Structures are given as C-alpha cells and as structure tokens.
Structure 1
Amino acid sequence: MAESIRETEVLVIGAGPGGYPAAIMAADHGKKVLLVDQDPKLGGVCLNRGCIPSKALLHVAKLIRETRESADHGLTFGEPQLDLDKLRGFVGNKVISKMNSGISSLVKGRQIDTIRAKAIFESPNTVRLEGETNGLIRFQYCVIATGSVPAMPKAFAIGDPRVMDSTGALLLPDVPKSLLVVGGGYIGLEIGSVYSALGTNVTVVEFADRLLPLADSDLVKPLHDRLAKHFEAIYLKTSVESIEAKPEGILAKLKGDGAPASVMFDRVLVSVGRRPNSVGIGLDKAGISVDERGFIVVDPQRRTTVPNIYAIGDVAGDPGLAHKATAEAKVAVESILGEKTEWAPRTIPAVIYTDPELAWCGSTERELKAANIPHEVRKFPWQASGRATSLARPEGLTKLIVDPESQRILGLGIVGVGAGDLISEGVLAIEMGAVARDLADSIHPHPTLSETIMEAADLALGATVHLPRMKKG
C-alpha cells in the first residue's frame, strides 16, 4: 500500500519566535500552512526554556535585591522567604503556559494545522515526519526555523546532573550553596544573577579579559562592579581545565589570573554558547548547504541554496536573538509572496537583562576602532540624571557614537535600569538615518531615564546643561 502524502503550500519547521510568526504571516496572506514542531507546546526555546522563563526569574531576583536594598531608603522588609515550588509554578503556569495558550489561539484562529513531530527532508519538496504523527508532507515552500541548542563541550559532558546547561538551570532543580558559571556571556550572567539572588554563592569564570567581550568595556564596567558585590568571585583570563564528579560536589580545576587551582562546587552551569539545530534533519537530501559552523547558508531573502526553501532565526546564523528571528520571518514570507524584499537591517539591538541591564545598537566603539572608522563618542553619566538619582541607581551610563562630519548616529549603548526598554529609540534613529540634532531637539519627558539619550545628543552638539561644559580641543 502506497504511503499517504499530505500536501501544503507552506511548511514551517519549528514553532519558536521565527517559526510561528512565519506561519501566521503566511496564513494571513491566504496561504495553506502546516506548522511542525517537536515540542509539545508552541513557542520554541525562547518561550519554553529560554528568554521568557529567564526574564520571569530575573524579575523575581530584582524584587529580592530591591527589598534588601530598601533599608537605605528608610523602608525595612523581613528577609524574603523562598517557596521554590511556588516559584516554579509561577514561571511554568502563570508565565509560560499563559503565553503557550496565547500562541495556540493565534495559530488556531488562522486555521493553521500543527503537528508534533520531527521533520526530516527527503527531497527539495518533501519531508518525513517522525513523532506523534508519521508520514510524508509535500510542500511548495518551506521555512526552516529549528533554532539552536546549548553547546556542551566534551570536557564538561561528564553525565552528572549537577552539571547543567541553561535549560537545566532554568528548571530550578534546587538552590545550591555554590554554583560555578563557565562563561561570562549574557546567558551565564543572567542565570548567575538569579541564583545569586536566591542565595547561591556564584563564581564566574571567563576566558577573555572581561565579561561580555562583544560589548564596549565602559558599558560593561558598571555591570561588572555591581555583580562583583553579589557574586562570590569573578575570574577573568581564566579557563576551566577540567571538572570531576565527586560525592560531595563537582571538583573544578582552574587556570588563570588569581584563580585557585581547584574548587568544589555543588553545581556547574556551562554557558559557552549555542549551536544551530541543523544536524539530523536531512539537509543534504534536500541539497541545502551549511557553513563550517553548521549554520544554513541563506541569501538576502533568507532563501537557502534550494530556492523554495528558506531558513530563519538561530539556524540561519548569528546573532541568535528572538527578535532577529521574527524580523527574518517577515522577509521570508514576503519573498514567498513574490514581494520585493531583502534582509538589510541597519542594526539589531542586543540586551543583557542583568541588573543593571546593558543594551546597545548600531556600531560599538570597539568595532569602529578596529575598522579605523572616524567617530566621536559622547557619554552622559546617570549621576547627572534626576530620575536615576530618585531611583538610587546612578551607576548607569548612556553612550552615543556619531560620525564627526555629518553627526549621523552610528551607535548607542546604555547600561542602567531599564536599558532594554530605552534602546529602541537608538534603533529607530539609526534605521531612519537620524543625526544628533534630531535626538537633541526631540523633547523628552522629565524626569525620565530617556532624557539621558537627549543629553548625550546635546553633548554631541557641544554641551548639555546638566554637565560641566566640555573643554574645546
């Protein structure tokens, strides 16, 4: 008996922040869409095991910190009492499940069929399903949005549950007395901040000479200084040579500046990056090319080397950010619809949701110096911000980078409370080709943290009223 084949116009593989928007956009334009994902719930890693649960936990961590620091303001609370089961329930039931339901409702409302299975290519027009539903699907177009998974180097894959990746750490198996975070990138610092607030002694080991190596060092410094007060230790220019499971914990051997030779930890979080989910899905059978790192090769329309198959999100290259995946979904669907479109953003914002937050868009000072591109930097310290002072959080900094001749905005960096919500003004300015005067002459409400962007733009024009006048020359 011949195997049945299901037909669809658009097949979307993966239901994360790239996949489900692609499916919805295609359906909104009249396409018949099938959405295939291995997860039992829609939303992908971002919603179920990444962005959303980590931000919910970071919010709780911030509340804990604020209650402890409020005594300086004349308001004293008792020491926070942790109910770990209730906290897990808040994240799982009130945050993740609510958003799962919302996405499911949006998808069902468009009559998009969803299938829980793994899709494996058999040709440029067919995939085989393996999972709760089996069989073949023949498609006219396909959007691959399979995302990425945490990287786990072999040296750390010792088969002990006390050695966690970000997925395991966000499940909050317990609150250990001590935690080693391997990697000083955004994932390690965010999760480390959560465990630290809950009562864990957190040690961070980073091979580079500073935390968050991609960000400018002057923006990282206020964050580093605050984290150093809460973490047990931060070791830079240091490597974890090996880890070994012992009955009493995980023994880590360290090598680097000022680091002890060996330390015992209750748990270890390995946060050294992510790798694309491009293996084991039959890309070779479809004729789809990948690069040396396993990312699917795509063109400005997000087409792969097979013209009717597209790839978006983490699987299609850096940066591995949810908002980048969603924006790529729009381009891919527009291309499928035959519209003239291309992936050409002037900037993709990055946000680190620690406390303080750190965000930037456009070019960094480090990148411009490396490329020998002329630029001017203007910094407005939050010590001069009325709003930051009223919040007792004056450690922040707003940094504007402009072209010396045209004053066109090249980059914006912010470290401080709510930086992630402030950075979009910089994104819009860069996308619109704005100059410093556009920001300086836009009236910002007082007292707000957004004023610091206006003040930095004033500095680019020569002076601002809330800082001493700059010396000429």
Structure 2
Amino acid sequence: MKDISCKLLVIGAGPGGYVCAIRAGQLGIDTVIVEASKPGGTCLNVGCIPSKAMIHAADEFHGAVAASKGSSPVGISLSEPKIDLKKTVAWKDNIVGRLTSGVSGLLKKAKVKIVTGRAKFRDGKTVEVETETGSQIIRAENIVIATGSQPVELPNLPFGAKVLSSTEALALKALPEKITVIGAGYIGLELGTAFAKLGADVTIIEAQDRVLPLYDRELVRPVEKRLGELGIEIVLSAKAKGLSGTGALLIETADGGERKIEADAILVTVGRKPATEGWGREELVLDMDGRFIRIDEECRTSMRGIFAIGDVTGEPMLAHRAMAQGEMVAEIVASHKRSWDKVAIPAVCFTDPEIVSVGLSPDEAKQAGREIKAAQFPFSANGRAMSMADETGFVRVVARADNNLVLGIQAVGRGVSELSASFGLALEMGACLEDIAGTIHAHPTQGEALQEAALRTLGHALHI
C-alpha cells in the first residue's frame, strides 16, 4: 500500500478519539483515524449506550409486571407480561448500529480518513496498521493515543463459559435464572438491577463493606433500599475465590468462612484497566503514572507531538471527559490556545434511583479544609416527582460558608441524570447560591429541587 502522511493521526475511535478527529477535520486539519473494530469504542458499542438501553427495557418490563400484580400506583392493570430477551437485544443492537453509522458519517463529513485495522507504533512519528488488505504505514506530525480501557479479569475467574464481562452480559440471548455479580460499583449495580427487574435471581458480591464505595453514604442509602425491595442479595466484605468442582462460585465471607453460590452466570465487574498494551508502547519513551499514561494540562505526553486522551490517561474513566479532552487536543493542534481547566466532571450512576454527583460532597469539602454550608431538598416535596409516582431522593447543594460559591451539587432520584448538565453548568460558571436561587425554574419540574436546595442552604426554602 502507498504510505499515508497527515498532520494528525488518532489511534482509537471511541468517544475521545472520534470527537478529536471530527473537530480536527472541521478545523481543516489533515486527519486520519485508526480503529480496529466499529467506531464509537466501548461506550457506544458495548458499554454506555447498550447498557442504558437494557436498563430502560428492564424498567419497562418491571413496571408491566407490577401492573399485572395490581401494584401499579397509578391504577394500571395488565395481564401477565412476558419479555423476549432476543428481541430486546436486537433492539439494543439496532440503536448501536444507528449510532456507529452516524459516527462514521460525521467523520466522513469532516473529511477524516478512516483506516480499519490494528495500529502499532514503529517510532514517535510512524504507525503501522494491519488491515484486511495488508500493512499500511502512516506518518504523522501529531499523534493522539485514545486506546481506551478494558474490563479487569480476575486471575481465579478468567472470562469464558459462564464467567462474563459486561460485554458478554449485554449480548445474552436468554435470561439466566441465577446471576451472581462480583463488584458493587456502578457497572455491577446497574446491570445487576436490570437483570433483577427482568426476573433473574441476583446476588451481588462486594469486597468492601458497602456498595458504591465511591459515592457518599447519604446518596447511596436510597439505592440500597431499592436493591432490597428488588430481592437482590448483597454480600459485603467478601472475596471471590474461584469455581468449585461443580461450577458453583466460591467466596470467602467477612468472618473468614467459605460459601458456595450456585449461579447460571457470573458477571465480573471489578473495574477497568487502561489499554496500554498491543499498540507498540515499547517503541516509545512515555512517562507513566502508575498504569496510566502521564499527561499535562494540554494532554501532551512526555514525547513531543504525542498526545493521550480518555481512559488510558486515568480517572475518571468517563466518555464525556474523553470527549472534552479530544476536542481540546484538536484545537491545540490547530494552534488554538487551550488547556484543561475544568471545575468539575459530572459522574452519573444509572441505578434505581439514579445518582448524580458534580464537584465536592460535604465530606470532600471538609477534608479539603473548606468551611461550608449545605442543605438538601427532598423530592417528596416536589410536585413533579409526586406526579411521576416516585418521590425517592433529594437534591443537595454544597457551598462555601463565606461567599456562597457553589462547590458541589448532588442528587439521587428517578431520572436525575438529566439534571447533570445544569449542575455542571452552575459549577463551571462559578455560580453562587444566590444565582441558582434567583434563576426561574420551570414548574412543575424536578429541576425546581435544585432551586429549593439553594434557597434552603441560604436559610429560606419556600416549599418545605
């Protein structure tokens, strides 16, 4: 093949990579993107999008089951509902297909050249790509490493047979009767909850002494309550040891004993690791930060002309962080003055109820030595939440005690993921409590709880 030369080469077409390439193309930069599989990366193909589709399907089915049992709070009754998981997965796959096609179309619109294959560095300016038709050499002035991350595999429970990663779990064509989830982080709880709503008997194993250990207890408490209502068994301070001779999961319990758990499927969700192998890192001289590639505030690595973005650069491993980094790098390559100066990155957990956290929690602010004021407004006093027959949760605002600058906003409740944009905007714009309290919020909406939380933090909530 004829060698390709370009100004910008992006390795990986996940959220960070494809956004970087599209923005570079828009800016007139000669750009090539390399991807071994479909565009969209883990998030679009086997992560964020398909998992949310399955969560929605599970919610719909669970509501129908409640109605068939006469327990619908709004008076709806149905005959016994059924679910065809094969059709559900096909619907999910159709959504993914539309989105991956959309990404390909956007790349072509931006005049980005797409090379399908596995890239490997020869040196800091040259990459070799193994394609279906042979080896392709690409030389670039600037290269962006956007290789993403992979599920962590437990040495004593390698993936295969009935031991699944989230990727295989989202492709099941039939619902296992008994599912054991190892790991009670957001991925484990999101998928475990969905499978329980679809009718599976779910057990969740967690090595720490609480679920969702990265979120503060106040936010997690409504989720724990809901897990119990769904009949999900939670086993805390326990470690998976492997499979017994009969295929049961062996765990070490908190008291040092051993327990066998029978399961038709075992879903391992103990975290993700950066994809730093298989693309020729050994040919480069990159400074590392533990397992991750070390970057500066412009996403530059220790090698001139090489950038890195997304999961391969560290926490938080979130698609929207990667997207923001990718857009910034494209503009830097186009000689725009940019740097990473974000106040906060929203974190969303799509459990039941959902959790949103932006900025500092009360405990985090105190640990940072801040004098704060904080208050929350419950959805039980919010008209829109009442009208949706789900009053679980609250919105909480954390602010500096001296000047009322907002340091963090958190919420737990039905559909609160949609409030994350307004939470992030408030922090990014440097809002004070008075700014939020003085902004007219539409009625009746759940967003009013943000205004009321700000008013309450100021000492004069109107509806509680």
Partner of 1:85: 86
Name the CA distance, whole Å, in 1 between partners of 2:160 and 2:231: 24
The letter for the 2-side match of 1:102 is G
For 1:275-314, what aligned pairs fall within 5 Å after superposition? 275-293=273-291, 295-314=292-311
Aligned equivalent of 1:43, options 20, 27, 40: 40
Partner of 1:19: 17
Query: Deviation string for 1:100-120 (max 9, x for gaps)?
Result: 111111111222211111111
The letter for the 1-side match of 2:79 is G
Name the CA distance, whole Å, in 1 between partners of 2:209 and 2:367: 17
For 1:38-187, what aligned pairs fall within 5 Å after superposition? 38-39=36-37, 41-70=38-67, 71-93=72-94, 95-132=95-132, 133-157=134-158, 160-187=160-187
Q: For 2:344, what is the secondary structure of its paired residue?
A: coil
Name the CA distance, whole Å, in 1 between partners of 2:332 and 2:306: 11
Partner of 2:6: 8
Query: Deviation string for 1:334-379 (max 9, x for gaps)?
Result: 2111221111110000001122111110012232233332222201
Native 8 Å contact 1:160 1:245 kept in 2? no
Partner of 1:194: 194
After superposition, the Cα gap between the structure-2 partners of 1:389 and 1:34, relative to the gap in structure 1 and judged at 3 Å, is same
Partner of 1:471: none
Partner of 1:378: 375
The letter for the 2-side match of 1:236 is L
Query: Deviation string for 1:67-89 (max 9, x for gaps)?
Result: 23442321112232111221111
Name the CA distance, whole Å, in 1 between partners of 2:400 and 2:65: 43
Partner of 1:366: 363
Deviation at 1:98, TM superposition (A): 0.7
1:226 aligns with 2:226: yes
Deviation at 1:466, TM superposition (A): 1.7
Aligned equivalent of 1:324, options 321, 324, 334: 321
Partner of 1:240: 240
The letter for the 1-side match of 2:51 is S
Name the CA distance, whole Å, in 2 between partners of 1:9 and 1:244: 55
After the TM superposition, which of the residue ranges 450-459 and 373-382 deviates more from structure 2? 373-382
Query: Deviation string for 1:243-293 (max 9, x for gaps)?
Result: 3363xx433223126997222111111101000111121123122222222
Native 8 Å contact 2:149 2:274 kept in 1? yes
For 1:415-430, what aligned pairs fall within 5 Å after superposition? 415-430=412-427
1:269 aligns with 2:267: yes
Name the CA distance, whole Å, in 2 between partners of 1:431 and 1:456: 18
Q: For 1:261, what is the secondary structure of its paired residue?
A: strand
Query: Deviation string for 1:310-337 (max 9, x for gaps)?
Result: 1111011111100000000111112111
After superposition, the Cα gap between the structure-2 partners of 1:82 and 1:68, relative to the gap in structure 1 and judged at 3 Å, is closer
1:344 aligns with 2:336: no
Q: For 2:156, what is the secondary structure of its paired residue?
A: helix
Aligned equivalent of 2:253, options 240, 252, 255: 255
Name the CA distance, whole Å, in 2 between partners of 1:196 and 1:150: 22
After the TM superposition, which of the residue ranges 275-284 and 303-312 deviates more from structure 2? 275-284
Q: For 1:115, what is the secondary structure of its paired residue?
A: strand
Native 8 Å contact 1:283 1:289 kept in 2? no
After the TM superposition, which of the residue ranges 434-443 and 58-67 deviates more from structure 2? 58-67
Name the CA distance, whole Å, in 2 between partners of 1:314 and 1:286: 19
Q: For 2:301, what is the secondary structure of its paired residue?
A: coil
Q: For 1:73, what is the secondary structure of its paired residue?
A: coil
The letter for the 1-side match of 2:217 is S
Name the CA distance, whole Å, in 1 between partners of 2:378 and 2:410: 12
Native 8 Å contact 1:235 1:257 kept in 2? no
1:406 aligns with 2:381: no
Name the CA distance, whole Å, in 2 between partners of 1:116 and 1:423: 35
After superposition, the Cα gap between the structure-2 partners of 1:76 and 1:19, relative to the gap in structure 1 and judged at 3 Å, is same
Deviation at 1:458, TM superposition (A): 0.5
Native 8 Å contact 1:62 1:355 kept in 2? no
Deviation at 1:404, TM superposition (A): 0.8
Aligned equivalent of 1:436, options 430, 433, 438: 433
Q: For 1:367, what is the secondary structure of its paired residue?
A: helix
After the TM superposition, which of the residue ranges 137-146 and 253-262 deviates more from structure 2? 253-262
Query: Deviation string for 1:180-214 (max 9, x for gaps)?
Result: 11111010011112211111111111122221111
Name the CA distance, whole Å, in 2 between partners of 1:165 and 1:349: 25
Gap regions ≥5 residues in structure 2: none
Q: For 2:248, what is the secondary structure of its paired residue?
A: strand
Where does structure 1 differ by over 4 angstroms across 4 or more consecutive aligned residues?
A: 257-260
Native 8 Å contact 1:252 1:265 kept in 2? no
Deviation at 1:4, TM superposition (A): 4.7
Q: For 2:293, what is the secondary structure of its paired residue?
A: coil
Partner of 1:470: none
Name the CA distance, whole Å, in 1 between partners of 2:178 and 2:61: 18
Name the CA distance, whole Å, in 1 between partners of 2:317 and 2:125: 27
Native 8 Å contact 1:117 1:134 kept in 2? no
The letter for the 1-side match of 2:399 is V
Name the CA distance, whole Å, in 1 between partners of 2:149 and 2:275: 5
Deviation at 1:235, TM superposition (A): 1.7
Q: For 1:268, what is the secondary structure of its paired residue?
A: strand
Native 8 Å contact 2:62 2:198 kept in 1? no
Query: Deviation string for 1:105-138 (max 9, x for gaps)?
Result: 1111222211111111111100111232413111
Gap regions ≥5 residues in structure 1: 468-473
The letter for the 2-side match of 1:357 is E
Equivalenced residue count is 459
* TM-score, normalization by structure 1: 0.94
